[in-house]
């Protein structure tokens, strides 16, 4: 039986919070501040961080529940969480559409509706709403939650397998990933195309996070602490950085041999290209090297804003979607100067931190008072989202 960690690793909350900030900055179109995000300097971006940590925390929360209460109870809790996220997604969809439609009509700028992918809703609201309810229609920036919902829907049997045969479970996940590329498996989207994040491929990173939580990280410790692996990770990040620079400075492409370009392109994000996985793993290797578990600095006030956002990731992500469109509105209708980009980006993160802190305070008050604990808090979890 795979071991379940007994203590929350603050690094998970810290880096999930940072990932949510990066996602917010990347979601604002033409945001100059988004140049500080990792997507501009390598193959992966904040989505990989978010999905991996989500898998890790899901195993942390529900793994213990499955060991203590059995498959049925733990599976019911996983499905309950999936339902909560689905309801949040529906509310986010409705309010997000209202926000976009109101701004587009009030400022007589139909480009807002087109750019945010809601033009089909305005033309065929009845069909579009139904397609949205079955997760086939998703406006721009609303692709992460449907991915998370689907990953949770089948997580209970995978968790059962991870607890009993972790290596086999990870191999099965890798096999599904390989078959996805071989047979071109995908989920269709409305009105055309496929999901931006293919669950058949992205499940590998989610399962790998869960595998690491259930003892996999300890089994990899010898490799993680190896100077050779660290050196390879640094070399790969430098390689990815060099390739990324050719995207912005085409003249540098002359220094990239043709066989390298033919081997690496296209770097597929919807199907989680292997190059993206390796880039994320390299970042994780270097991060673990410099930020060890139990690092006292993690409890300092400096990291608290990111940690509190990471502990309440659902609320923070949903708020970030609204704020990203608000930032796009400010750039379009008010000012597109660099100072406005900085003000909007900083203000958005401050608001996200403030709301996450308010949610944290509210949950602490609920736990201290009479009555049941908040519904999203699971046994053995010191607060936040799974």
What is the DSSP track for 130-161? HHHHTT----TT--HHHHHHHHHHTHHHHHHH
Tens-digit pLDDT profile for residues 66-116: 999 999 999 999 999 999 999 999 999 999 888 888 887 777 777 777 767
Tens-digit pLDDT profile for residues 334-368: 999 999 999 999 999 999 999 999 999 998 888 77
pLDDT attached to residue 309: 97
Which of 348, 377, 378 is closest to 363 using CA atoms? 377
Q: Provide the total of helices (H) and of strands (E) in the chain, helices listed first.
A: 18, 0
pLDDT at residue 262 above 60? Answer: yes
> How far is Cα 355 from Cα 349, in angstroms, rounded to an integer?
10
Q: Is 185 left (phi over 0), alpha (psi -120 to 50) or beta?
A: beta
The average pLDDT across 276-280 equals: 98
Task: Indicate the average pLDDT of the chain.
Answer: 90
Tens-digit pLDDT profile for residues 314-329: 999 999 999 999 999 9
pTM to 2 decimal places: 0.92
Token digits for 90? Answer: 């529906």
> How far is Cα 304 from Cα 14, in angstroms, rounded to an integer?
8
> How far is Cα 131 from Cα 97, in angstroms, rounded to an integer?
14
> How far is Cα 201 from Cα 116, in angstroms, rounded to an integer?
25
Token digits for 333? Answer: 């209708």
pLDDT at residue 136 above 70? Answer: yes
The average pLDDT across 46-75 equals: 95
**Region of poorest pLDDT, from 92-101, 138-147, 186-195, 203-212:** 92-101
The average pLDDT across 184-191 equals: 93
CA 254 to mean position of chain CA atoms: 34
pLDDT at residue 3 above 90? Answer: no
pLDDT attached to residue 380: 34
The average pLDDT across 258-277 equals: 95
If you write DSSP's letter for every residue of 155-205 in order, what string do you get? HHHHHHHHHH-HHHHHHHHHHHHHHHHHHT---B-SSSSB-SS-HHHHHHH
Tens-digit pLDDT profile for residues 229-261: 999 999 999 999 999 999 999 999 999 999 999
Instruction: Please give the span between the terminal C-alpha atoms of the chain, in angstroms, as a whole number.
Output: 22
46-69 helix and 10-27 helix, angle to the nearest 10 degrees? 140
pLDDT at residue 307 above 60? Answer: yes
Tens-digit pLDDT profile for residues 159-179: 999 999 999 999 999 999 999
Sequence-ordered strand ranges (E) for 137-209:
none
């Amino acid at each position: 039986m795979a071991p379940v960690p007994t203590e929350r690793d603050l690094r998970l909350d810290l880096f999930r919070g940072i990932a949510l900030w990066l996602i917010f900055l990347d979601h604002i179109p033409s945001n100059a501040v988004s140049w500080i995000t990792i997507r501009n300097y390598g193959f992966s971006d904040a989505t990989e961080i978010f999905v991996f940590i989500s898998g890790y925390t899901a195993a942390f929360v529900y793994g213990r529940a499955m060991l203590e209460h059995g498959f049925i109870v733990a599976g019911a809790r996983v499905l309950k969480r999936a339902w909560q996220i689905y309801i949040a997604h529906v509310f986010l969809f409705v309010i997000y559409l209202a926000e976009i439609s109101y701004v587009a009509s009030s400022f007589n700028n139909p480009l807002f509706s087109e750019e945010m992918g809601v033009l089909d809703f305005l033309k065929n609201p009845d069909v579009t709403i139904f397609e949205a309810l079955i997760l086939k229609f998703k406006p721009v920036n609303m692709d992460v939650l449907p991915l998370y919902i689907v990953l949770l829907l089948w997580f209970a049997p995978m968790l059962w397998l991870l607890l009993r045969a972790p290596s086999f479970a990870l191999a099965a996940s890798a096999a599904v990933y390989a078959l996805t590329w071989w047979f071109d498996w995908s989920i269709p989207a409305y009105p055309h195309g496929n999901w931006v994040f293919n669950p058949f491929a992205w499940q590998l990173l989610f399962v790998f996070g869960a595998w690491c939580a259930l003892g996999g990280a300890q089994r990899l410790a010898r490799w993680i602490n190896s100077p050779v692996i660290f050196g390879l990770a640094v070399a790969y990040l430098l390689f990815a950085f060099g390739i990324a620079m050719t995207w912005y400075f085409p003249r540098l492409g002359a220094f990239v041999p043709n066989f390298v370009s033919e081997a690496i392109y296209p770097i597929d994000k919807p199907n989680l290209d292997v190059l993206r996985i390796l880039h994320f793993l390299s970042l994780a290797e270097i991060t673990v090297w410099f930020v060890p578990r139990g690092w006292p600095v993690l409890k300092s006030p400096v990291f608290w804003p990111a940690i509190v956002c990471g502990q309440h990731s659902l609320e923070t992500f949903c708020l970030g979607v609204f704020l990203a469109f608000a930032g796009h509105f400010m750039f379009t209708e008010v000012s597109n100067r660099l100072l406005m980009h900085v003000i909007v980006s900083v203000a958005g993160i401050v608001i996200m931190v403030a709301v996450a802190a308010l949610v944290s305070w509210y949950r602490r008050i609920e736990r201290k008072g009479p009555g049941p604990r908040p519904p999203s808090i699971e046994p053995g979890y010191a607060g936040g989202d799974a």
